[in-house]
Amino acid sequence: MTLDEALVRQLEDDYTKAPLEPRERAMLDYAVLLTRDPVAVTPAEHDKLRAVGFDDLGILQITLIASWFNYVNRVADALGVGRGPRPAP
């Protein structure tokens, strides 16, 4: 959580260019990989998280939270949540 609006804008635009700690960057890299190509998540990816201080519980939590948001967003997209009313046929 941050109140730094400039940082929020940088994260929204391209998190890889934002001034993040290595631990934060590794977490976001993992979440992006999990979102874009979940079968590419290997034990080596977990080792990267461990190298910056995450333990198995932390890795599980990151995985569950990112996966839950991916699921909820896909359900919302499939149901048209946020798109407004559908035009009449």
pLDDT of residue 1: 67
Residue 35 belongs to domain with CATH number: 1.20.1290.10
Q: How confident is the model at residue 86 (pLDDT cuts 50, 70, 90)?
A: confident
pLDDT of residue 4: 86
Instruction: Please check whether residue 14 lies inside any domain of the structure.
Output: no
Instruction: Please check whether residue 64 lies inside any domain of the structure.
Output: yes
**Number of compact structural domains in the chain:** 1
Q: Does residue 85 have a pLDDT over 90?
A: no
Instruction: Please check whether residue 55 lies inside any domain of the structure.
Output: yes
| CB-based contact 20:52 (threshold 8 Å) | no
The whole-angstrom separation of Cα 81 and Cα 84 is 7
Reported as a single tens digit per residue, the pLDDT across 35-75 is 999 999 999 999 999 999 999 999 999 999 999 999 999 99
Instruction: Please check whether residue 75 lies inside any domain of the structure.
Output: yes
pLDDT of residue 88: 74
Instruction: Please check whether residue 87 lies inside any domain of the structure.
Output: no
Containing structural domain, residue 59:
20-79
What is the average per-residue pLDDT within 68-87? 88
pTM beyond cutoff 0.95: no
The rounded mean pLDDT for the chain is 93
Cα 74 versus chain centre, distance: 14
What SS3 string covers the chain?
Answer: CCCCHHHHHHHHHHHHHCCCCHHHHHHHHHHHHHHHCHHHCCHHHHHHHHHCCCCHHHHHHHHHHHHHHHHHHHHHHHHCCCCCCCCCC
